[in-house]
Amino acid sequence: MEYYDYWDSPLGRILLVASGSALTGVHFSGEKYFPAIASEWIYQPDAKYIVSARTQLAEYFACKRQVFTLKVEPAGTPFQRRVWRALQEIPHGTTTNYGTLAARIGKPTASRAVGAANGRNPISIVIPCHRVIGAAGDLTGYAGGLDRKAALLRLEAEAAGEFQLTSP
């Protein structure tokens, strides 16, 4: 069973989706891969993981949270889930690039595939795909839009007091 609600974040409306056991979606309205509300989904603003996600996201945007403690279950291929797990290891306030992330998961020649998986991340912000930038330090694709990606990186830089490109 999937539950959903909308939350008005500082960067626009977000669709929150959860099962009875984890958060399964955080999507900005208008994002490239915004899901259609399935007929079997239940509008349930007080569902456990919806409430937790809303609370933790509000803390994040208020610069009071740097690490999410939400249980997540992103639906995807084994490769996509591997990339998404690696994204969760990128510290708040830092960035990495697609090549470094590909090497981190043991696929050093798969930076394009890593980029594609990054773009299909169904749990935006919580699984921080916005922390992956181009090799030259440029902002590259973000399903929620480059303006939101830049805003998220600025927010984290402000919260961390600095911003740096990291590599493992």
Contact 25, 123 (CB under 8 A): yes
63 is catalytic: no
- Please give the helix or strand (H or E) that residue 117 lies within, else none: helix 111-119
H helices within 48-97, ranges in order?
Answer: 48-61, 78-87
d(CA 92, CA 65): 9
Q: Which of 18, 47, 87, 129 is catalytic?
A: 129
Residues with Cβ within 8 Å of 146's Cβ and at least 6 positions away in sequence, in order, are: 139
Q: Residue 11: name the closest of 155, 162, 120 by CA.
A: 155
Hey, is 98 helix, strand or coil?
helix
Question: What single-letter amino acid sits at 40?
Answer: E
Q: Which residues are catalytic?
A: 129
